[in-house]
Structure 1
Amino acid sequence: MRHLRMVPDHTNIDFFAIARVTFGGSMLLVVISIMAPFIWGLNFGIDFLGGTTIRTEASQPVNVGAYRKALDPLHLGDVIINQVFDPSASTNKHVANVRVSAEKGHESIPPAALKRIEGALQKVDPSIRFTSVNSVGPKVSGELMRKAVMAISGAVFAVMAYIWLRFEWQFALGAAVATVHDVALTVGIFVLLQIKFDLSIIAALLTIVGYSLNDTVVVFDRARENLIKYKKMPLRDVLNLSANETLSRTLMTSLSTMIPLIALLIFGGDVIRGFVFAIAWGVITGTYSSIYVAKNIVLMLGVKRDWGKKDDGAAGTQFAAKG
C-alpha cells in the first residue's frame, strides 16, 4: 500500500539560501505588525470597547438571522447575537443574548436606543421581552486588554522556559522569536483587514502560541539528534537536514489542521469567523516560522554539539562560524 506523501522521502532544500528575503522580510513584517495597532488601530469588539448586553426571552425559537436583519437598519455598530441554553428558564421560553457596542464617549447605549432595539425585535417576535440589561464600561474593557496582553506575554515566556530546560538557551530564544513572529503577524493581519478583535481572538492567539511551539519543537528535536549524530557536519547543514527530514510531517500536520478550519470559515457563520481566521492564519505563520525563523536564530547564535559534556562557556560560538 502506498502512503500519501506531501513531499518526497528525501529532500535537500537549502532553507538558508534566501535568508535575507525569508528571515529579513519576516523581521520587517514583525516590526510593522507591532507598530500597526498604534498607528492604524485595531477594530476592537464589544469586549474591549464597552457596550451593553441585553438578555431576551421569547416564546418562539430564537432566529439569530432574523434578529440581526431586524437590527441592521438601526445602525448600532458592533452587534453580537447568541442563543443561550438556560436550564433555569421555563421550557416554553427561548433565551438569547444581544450585545451592542457603546457609542464613542458613552459607557452604554442610551434608553432611547434600547427602546428602538426592543421595537425592532418585537416585529420579529411580539413575545420578546428584555429580562436584563447589563453594561460594560471602558474601565472594565481596559482591564480586559491588560490581562490579555499579560496572558500572551506569559505564554511566550513559558515557551522560552520550556525550550530552555529541554534544549539550550539558543533554542529557547529561537522558539520565542518564532512565537512572537506568529502572534505579531496575526495581529498585523487583523489591523490590515480591520477584522473585529475581541476576547475570542485572544483565545486564538494563545492557541497559536501552542501550535507554533509544537511545530518548532519537532524541528529542534531532530536538530539535537543530528547535532549528536553528525559531529563534524557544519551547523547550517545540520539544521537544513533536520528541517528536510521533518518537512513531510510539518506539512501534513498543517494540511490536516487547515481542512476543518477552511470548512469552519465557509460554513461556521459570522460568530466564529474571526476566531477561525486567526487560527488558520496562525497555522500558516507557525509552519513558516518553524522552518524559516526559529532555525535562523539558532544558526546566528551557534549551539554546542555534545550534550554529554559540560558547557565550557563557548556554546554560543563554536559552531556559528562553521554555519
Structure 2
Amino acid sequence: MFREITKVDENNPIRFMNYRKHTSIFSIVLLLIALGSLAVNKLNWGLDFTGGTLVEVGFSQPADLELLRDVLETNEFGDAVVQNYGTQRDVLVRVPPRENVGADSIGDQLLRLLQSEVDQDIQIRRVEFVGPQVGEELTEAGGLALIVAMICILVYVSFRFDWRLALSAVIGLFQDVIMILGVFSVLQISIDLTILAALLAVIGYSLNDSIVVADRIRENFRILRKEDSVSVIDISLSQTMSRTLVTSLTTLLVLVTLFLFGGQMIEGFAIAMIIGVVVGTYSSVFTRSTIVLALGISRENLMPPEVEKEGEDLEQMP
C-alpha cells in the first residue's frame, strides 16, 4: 500500500514550490508587521514579569469569579487577575504595581470593596508584594530558555541531517516565535508564564514536524535519482501532507476546546498554541522548504558516505 501511495505522489504531487515566491513575500510581510508592532507597541507584560500585589481572599461560600471580575472592573481594578487558589472558596487577586500605593493599602481597598459588594464575611488571608526585580529575572530566564532551545535544536538537527536542513528548521522556528509574539503585541494580550510555556511547546511541536519532512526529503533524494530538487521536495511534502493535516487538526480541536471552556487563566496559553500550530504548519510546508532550496540543497549533500570495505585495496592490486 505504501508503494502505491508513493507512486501516485511521484506521478502527481502537489506543486507547493511553484508558489514559493508568493509565500516568501507573504512571510516577509507578516514578519515585518510583527517586528514593527514589537518595536512600536512592544509586549504587554503580565504580573509574572512586571511585579505587583498578590492578595489571597477567603470566602464563606464558593466564589463566583465572573462576578468578582465585574466588580473589580467597575471599581478601578479592571487590570486585576482573578483565579481560584486551592479550593473554590479561596481566590487569588493579582494587581499590577501602582505608583505611591503600598501592598497593605491595596489589600484594605479590596477588602472594603468586596465586603460591600460581594460578601460581608470574606477575609484577607495574605497580602504580598512582588517586586519588578523578580519580573526582570523571569524575563531573562525566559529569553535564555528560548535561545538555548534554538541552539540545542540547531546542534541536534545538524548532526542528524545536512546543515541546510538544520538551518532552515531553526529559521522556521524563529518565524513561528516572532509571529506569536507579533499577534500578542498587536492585540496587546498580557504575557505571562503560561505564554512562555506555550512558546516552548510550539518549538517542540514545529521541530517534530520539521524532522518528519526533512527525513522524507533526505530519503527521496536517495531514491528518486531522476528528479530535480524542486520535484523531490514537492513529492516529500505531498507524502507527509496527510500526516501534517491530521496532526494539526486534532491538535487544534483540543486547543479550541481549551480556549472556549478552559477559563481566563488558560486563555492566553490556548491562543498562543493555536497561532503556533497554524504558523508552524505553514512554515513546515513553505518556509523551511523554500529556505532549503535557496541554500542549494542537492542529492550529493544527502548521499551517505561510501564506506571502504576491509581488504578492498588488496583485491584491486594486480
Q: 1:72 to 1:167 in 2, by over 3 A?
A: same
Task: Indicate whether 1:97 and 2:98 are aligned.
Answer: no
Task: Pick closer, same or farther for the CA change 1:240–1:201 going to 2, 3 Å.
Answer: same
What's the counterpart of residue 120 of structure 1? Answer: 113
**Which residue is 1:62 aligned to?**
63
Cα deviation for residue 94 of structure 1 reads 3.2
- Match of 1:135, SS state, is strand
Match of 1:80? 81
Residue 182 of structure 1 contacts residue 286 of structure 1 at CA under 8 Å; is this kept in 2? Answer: yes
CA-to-aligned-CA distance 1:205-242 (integer Å, 9 cap, x gap)? 11110111011111111111101111332111111110
**1:173-197 deviation line (CA, Å, top 9, x unaligned):** 0100110011100000111111111
**Which residue pairs with 2:316 in the alignment?**
none
Residue 256 of structure 1 aligns with an amino acid whose one-letter code is T
CA drift of 1:35 comes to 4.2
Query: Greater Rg, structure 1 or structure 2?
Result: 2
Contact map agreement 2:73 2:79 (CA 8 A) in 1: no
Q: Counterpart of 1:262 in structure 2: which amino acid?
A: V
Corresponding residue of 1:290? 284
| Structure 1 runs of 4+ with >3 Å offset | 108-113
The equivalent residue for 2:267 is 273
Task: Give 2:303's match in structure 1, choosing from 303, 306, 321.
Answer: 306
What do the CA deviations read for 1:260-295 (whole angstroms, capped 9, x no partner)? 211222222222111101101100000000000111
The amino acid that maps onto 2:72 is L
The equivalences for 1:1-323 within 5 A come to 10=9, 12-85=13-86, 94-103=89-98, 105=99, 109=102, 111-122=104-115, 123-303=117-297, 304-309=301-306
Give, as a single letter, the amino acid of the residue that structure 2 aligns with 1:261: L
Q: Which structure has the highest helix share of the two?
A: 2
Q: Partners of 1:130 and 1:110 in 2: how far apart?
A: 12
Q: Decide whether the 8 Å contact of 2:168 with 2:292 is kept in 1.
A: yes
Letter in 1 for 2:30: L
**1:231–1:305 contact (8 Å) kept in structure 2:** no
Amino acid at match of 2:71: A
**In 2, Cα distance between equivalents of 1:31 and 1:120:** 45
Gaps in structure 2 of 5+ consecutive residues: 1-7, 308-318
Q: Which residue of 1 aligns with 2:4?
A: none
Secondary structure, aligned partner of 1:308: coil
**1:12 aligns to what SS in structure 2?**
coil
- RMSD of the alignment, in Å? 2.0
User: Is the contact between residue 77 and residue 100 of structure 1 (CA under 8 Å) also seen in structure 2?
Assistant: no
User: What secondary structure, in the 3-state scheme, does the structure 1 residue paired with 2:16 have?
Assistant: coil
Identical-residue share of aligned pairs (%): 36
Q: Tell me, what secondary structure is at the counterpart of 2:226?
A: coil
Contact 1:77–1:101 (CA<8 Å) still a contact in 2?
no
Q: CA deviation at 1:116?
A: 2.0
Distance 1:281 1:96 in 2: 30
User: Where does residue 313 of structure 2 map in the other structure?
Assistant: none
SS in 2 for 1:74: coil
Residue by residue over 1:2-61, the C-alpha shift from the partner in whole angstroms, topping out at 9 and shown as x without a partner, is xxxxxxx74522212122221232134224423432221112211122111111223322
Structure 1 unaligned blocks of 5 or more: 1-8, 87-92, 311-323
